[in-house]
Structure formats: C-alpha cells, structure tokens
C-alpha cells in the first residue's frame, strides 16, 4: 500500500513527538496536549470546533470530567460522539482505565470511547444492556505498528469516518461475524448437506452428518467450542453410508 506523503509525514511526526514525551516521562497534561495535536494532524479534527476539553459527566453523585469529548451535530444538536480518556504516556493501559472511560460513556449515553496514552490506542463500543458493557473493537500501537496499518487505524476514528458512520458500520460487521452467528450458518442443515455432497464428490465417500460435525469441532478454537456446546444442532438422519468406487457412487438423496 502506497501512503500519501502527507499522511506518512504526519504519522512519522506523531511517532517522533511521542518518543520525545516517552523519554522525558511527560505528565498527563503534557500527554493530553500531544494527543490533541494528533487528533488534528492524523484524524482531521479542528480542536476549536470538534474537541471539548474536560467535558462534564453527570452521573450519580458529583459531576466528573473526561479528558476530551469529540462532538458533532446529530439531529440538530451538538453531542459527544466519542469520549476520549488519556493517560500519561508511560502509564500502561489497564482494566481500571477501561472501566473509568466506560462509565463516562454510559453516563453521557455515548456509544464510543477511545482510551490512549499516546503510544497505545484502543476503541471500545458501549452496549447499553443490563448491565452495560464496553467491548474492545480495535487497538493499535503508534510506536510499533507499520505505517500502512496506522493510517487505516487512525482513519477509522477520523472526522471523515465518523461523519460517514464508519465506526457504526464496523460494529455491525463485528456483530454479524460473531462465533455464534457463524456457527449457526456453518452447522445449518443446508451447510452440512453441501459439505456432504462436496466430500462425496472429492473423496468418494458418504458420511453421516454427525461425522461432519465432529470434523468441524476439531477445527474450532476454545471460544467457538464454547458457543458450539450451547447450540442446538438439527441433523437429518440418513441411511448408513457406504464407501464406494468412483464409477458406482450412489446418488445423493434430497435434503
């Protein structure tokens, strides 16, 4: 992938700038100032228009303040579309920081939170269920990832992408490609029948549907296996399969 020279320069400048604050062990305020510059140079935001510093969060009890709120117009109102929580550059991002940022998103009704220390960047989606959950959608490292990857990642949270609903589309794709959804399709009667036909064509052997499911099980990782154990799989019983020579393969019965 050939990078636009301006994008390449902006990424390299951001990396050099971050290296400087790493070496000087800059405090959180200085880290925030550098992060704000990246929102302008890498993601196309205008700090005077789109970024609200110390945005007030009204929850239970006293008000709190997030580091940044990215605000855009929605239905005639200016509202937060991304809550940004910034940590000092040499602080490793941890679960407690995710919980803090998620609480800000939940209390403002904002679906997206971005957690960063200038080095590492994580974008989370807030699912407003019972209880609400913060789901990691993507992450990247400014210091170690290649420039082409960084260009894609920063574009994901850019002003242009947010205006086009890029994060919402990515979330929809993520939901569509869950292990549960894929397993339902892979283990549907139609898919199993298609696999049986293809195996018979290629390997010249007829198999029970249960044998095919057993083979698929061996391909799955532990997470998908957990989903599989909770699923109800409907299998159509067939007559006992037989191994046959290519020239006398029995005709496949209809599903």
Query: What digits encode the pLDDT tens for the residues 8-29?
Result: 999 999 999 999 999 999 999 9
User: Confidence class of residue 245 from pLDDT cuts 50, 70 and 90?
Assistant: very low
d(CA 208, CA 158): 51
Q: What is the pLDDT of residues 49-96, one digit of tens each?
A: 999 887 777 665 566 788 899 999 888 889 999 999 999 999 999 999
d(CA 72, CA 75): 10
Q: Rg for the chain (alpha carbons), in Å?
A: 25
d(CA 58, CA 103): 10
Q: What order do you get walking across the sheet with 64-74 strand by strand? A: 51-57, 64-74, 77-86, 112-116, 120-127, 133-141
∠ CA 87-40-9 to the nearest 5 degrees?
100
Q: What is the DSSP code (8-state) at residue 3?
A: P
Q: What's the mean pLDDT in 155-174? A: 92
Q: What is the DSSP code (8-state) at residue 2?
A: P
Strand partners, 69: 52, 83
Q: What's the mean pLDDT in 91-105? A: 92
The full set of domains in the chain, from first to last, is 5-176 (3.90.1570.30), 179-246 (no CATH)
Q: Is the distance from CB of 73 to CB of 124 less than 8 angstroms?
A: no
User: In 63-165, which ranges are continuous DSSP H helix?
Assistant: 95-108, 147-156, 159-163
In the predicted model, what is the mean pLDDT of the chain?
85
Q: How many CA atoms lie within 13 A of 162 on its CB side?
A: 24
Q: Is the distance from CB of 56 to CB of 63 less than 8 angstroms?
A: yes
User: Confidence class of residue 225 from pLDDT cuts 50, 70 and 90?
Assistant: low
Cis ω before 131 (30° cut-off from 0): yes
pTM: 0.74
- From the list 87, 158, 170, the residue with the least C-alpha distance to 125 is 170
d(CA 126, CA 163): 19
User: Confidence class of residue 218 from pLDDT cuts 50, 70 and 90?
Assistant: confident
Q: Is the distance from CB of 54 to CB of 29 less than 8 angstroms?
A: no
Per-residue pLDDT at 254: 40
Strand, helix or coil for residue 50: coil
User: Confidence class of residue 248 from pLDDT cuts 50, 70 and 90?
Assistant: very low
Quickly count: other Cβ atoms within 10 Å of residue 184's Cβ. 14
């Amino acid at each position: 992938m050939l990078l636009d020279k301006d994008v390449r320069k902006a990424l390299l400048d951001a990396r050099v700038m971050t290296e400087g604050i790493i070496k000087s062990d800059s405090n959180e305020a200085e880290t925030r100032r550098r992060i704000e510059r990246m929102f302008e140079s890498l993601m196309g935001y205008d700090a005077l228009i789109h970024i609200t510093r110390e945005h007030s969060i009204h929850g239970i009890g006293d008000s709190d303040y997030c580091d940044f709120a990215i605000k855009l117009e929605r239905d005639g109102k200016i509202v937060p579309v991304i809550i940004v929580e910034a940590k000092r550059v040499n602080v490793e991002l941890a679960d407690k920081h995710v919980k803090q940022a998620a609480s800000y998103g939940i209390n403002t009704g904002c679906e997206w939170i971005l957690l960063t220390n200038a080095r590492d960047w994580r974008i989370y989606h807030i699912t407003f269920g019972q209880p609400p959950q913060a789901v990691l959608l993507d992450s990247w490292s400014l210091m170690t990832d290649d420039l082409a990857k960084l260009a894609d990642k920063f574009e994901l949270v850019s002003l242009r992408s947010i205006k086009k609903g890029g994060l919402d589309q990515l979330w929809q794709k993520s939901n569509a490609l869950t292990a549960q959804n894929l397993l339902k399709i892979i283990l549907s009667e139609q898919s199993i029948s298609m696999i049986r036909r293809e195996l018979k064509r290629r390997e010249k052997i007829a198999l029970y549907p249960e044998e095919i499911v057993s083979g698929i099980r061996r391909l799955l990782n532990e997470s998908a296996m957990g989903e599989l154990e909770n699923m109800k799989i409907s299998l159509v019983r067939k007559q006992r399969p037989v191994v046959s020579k290519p020239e006398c393969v029995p005709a496949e019965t209809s599903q």
